[in-house]
């Protein structure tokens, strides 16, 4: 819903910079309550509106967008976001500039890969596994919500699928066995190496843009990757001649996390954590490499198509 655009936001920020002379030395530390209020308008015509909690102009814009009366909007959830379309840029047109690459980029690649992995009958006629994509909200605030990975939604969905497909001849424990045979790719974005902040990265694990999916490792289990899951997921890439790279956080820095450990521990499913390298994560305009979108899509599609055959080989006596 276009409410505030980033040009307004940026002019607001620039004005703040000129008022805060020490911003370059002390950093930009806005008061989250009083200094990040979006600008909507300077003037507005008085609009007749019933008594509501929000500004009449905002309600008027919403009702116009929704093509309904203001009184018909009974409740709402609003997020302010950049409404400019994504675009290519950089000297070689190799960068994608976009809002919310984290984590719409992985979501797009996974969904496209799932659809395309099933496009012809030979793609799935011999498939014994179930291909699935699960997209969750609220990862940035801890995933503990009804639509986040902390809820048992995926577990319940898998259970319903197995119960529908497993007839009485499969006996008890069909669902538990299906879980043990499953494999989860937890795909979130990764911090690509930024030339201005080289010292923030462990010397031998500096993911670069355009060099393929980043496999994330953490001994403290902030990522759910294990030696085995990393091997299997990289093997998919090797077979299809796709590059991968590894990330380990410096020991003197805190490590981010993903929904990988939440789902791995909550469901008991083998998991690899991976992501597309990007710059300016969580800023209003993020940057990633054009090549990486293509590589991630191909890697996910190859995973759907070849996981079962690779996994089978791992457990031959």
Residues that bind Zn ion (CB under 5 A): 102
Strands, sheet with 244-248, edge to edge from the N-terminal-most edge strand: 183-187, 270-275, 213-217, 244-248
Q: How far is the CB of 279 from Zn ion (least distance, A)?
A: 13
**DSSP-assigned beta bridge partners for residue 215:** 246, 274
Phi/psi at 11 (nearest 5 deg)? -65, -30
Residue 275 vs 310, nearer CB to Zn ion: 275
Phi/psi at 87 (nearest 5 deg)? -150, 165
Residue 82 vs 102, nearer CB to Zn ion: 102
Residue 70 vs 209, nearer CB to Zn ion: 209
Q: How far is the CB of 94 from Zn ion (least distance, A)?
A: 22
Residue 102 vs 273, nearer CB to Zn ion: 102
Orientation of helix 153-165 relative to helix 174-181, angle to 10°? 120
Q: How far is the CB of 149 from Zn ion (least distance, A)?
A: 13
Question: How far is Cα 248 from Cα 40, in angstroms, rounded to an integer?
Answer: 42
- Cβ-in-10-Å burial (0-12, 13-18, 19+) of 190 comes to buried
Residue 117 vs 278, nearer CB to Zn ion: 278
Report the SS3 class of residue 195.
Answer: helix
Residue 286 vs 302, nearer CB to Zn ion: 286
The b/e string for 88-111 (b: 16+ C-beta within 10 A; e otherwise) is: eeeeeeebbbbbbbbbebbeebbe
Instruction: Dihedral sign for Cα 175, 306, 152, 157, please.
Output: negative
Residue 223 vs 304, nearer CB to Zn ion: 223
Whose CB is nearest to Zn ion? 102
Q: How far is the CB of 242 from Zn ion (least distance, A)?
A: 24
Q: How far is the CB of 90 from Zn ion (least distance, A)?
A: 22
Q: How far is the CB of 103 from Zn ion (least distance, A)?
A: 6
Question: How far is Cα 60 from Cα 41, in angstroms, rounded to an integer?
Answer: 13
Q: How far is the CB of 144 from Zn ion (least distance, A)?
A: 16
């Amino acid at each position: 819903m276009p409410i505030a655009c980033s040009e307004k936001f940026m002019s607001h920020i620039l004005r703040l910079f000129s008022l805060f002379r020490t911003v370059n030395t002390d950093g930009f530390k806005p008061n989250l309550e009083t200094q990040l209020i979006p600008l909507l308008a300077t003037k507005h015509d008085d609009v007749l509106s019933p008594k509501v909690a929000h500004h009449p102009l905002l309600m008027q814009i919403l009702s116009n967008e929704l093509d309904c009366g203001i009184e018909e909007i009974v409740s709402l959830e609003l997020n302010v976001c950049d409404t400019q379309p994504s675009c290519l840029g950089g000297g070689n047109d190799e960068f994608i500039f976009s809002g919310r690459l984290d984590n719409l980029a992985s979501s797009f690649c996974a969904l496209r890969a799932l659809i395309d992995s099933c496009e012809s009958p030979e793609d799935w006629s011999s498939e014994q596994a179930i291909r699935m994509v699960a997209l969750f909200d609220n990862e940035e605030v801890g995933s503990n919500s009804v639509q986040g990975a902390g809820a048992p939604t995926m577990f319940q969905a898998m259970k319903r699928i197995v119960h529908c497909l497993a007839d009485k001849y499969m006996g008890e424990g069909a669902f538990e066995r299906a879980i043990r045979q499953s494999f989860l790719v937890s795909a979130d974005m990764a911090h690509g190496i930024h030339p201005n902040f080289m010292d923030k990265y462990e010397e031998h694990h500096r993911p670069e843009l355009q060099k393929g999916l980043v496999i994330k490792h953490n001994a403290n289990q902030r990522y759910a990757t294990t030696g085995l899951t990393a091997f299997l997921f990289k093997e998919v890439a090797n077979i299809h001649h796709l590059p991968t790279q590894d990330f380990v956080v410096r020991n003197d820095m805190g490590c981010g996390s993903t929904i990988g450990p939440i789902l791995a521990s909550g469901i008991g499913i083998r998991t690899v954590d991976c992501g597309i390298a990007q710059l300016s994560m969580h800023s209003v305009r993020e940057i990633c490499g054009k090549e990486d979108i293509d590589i991630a899509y191909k890697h996910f599609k190859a995973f759907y198509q070849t996981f079962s055959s690779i996994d089978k080989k791992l457990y031959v006596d």
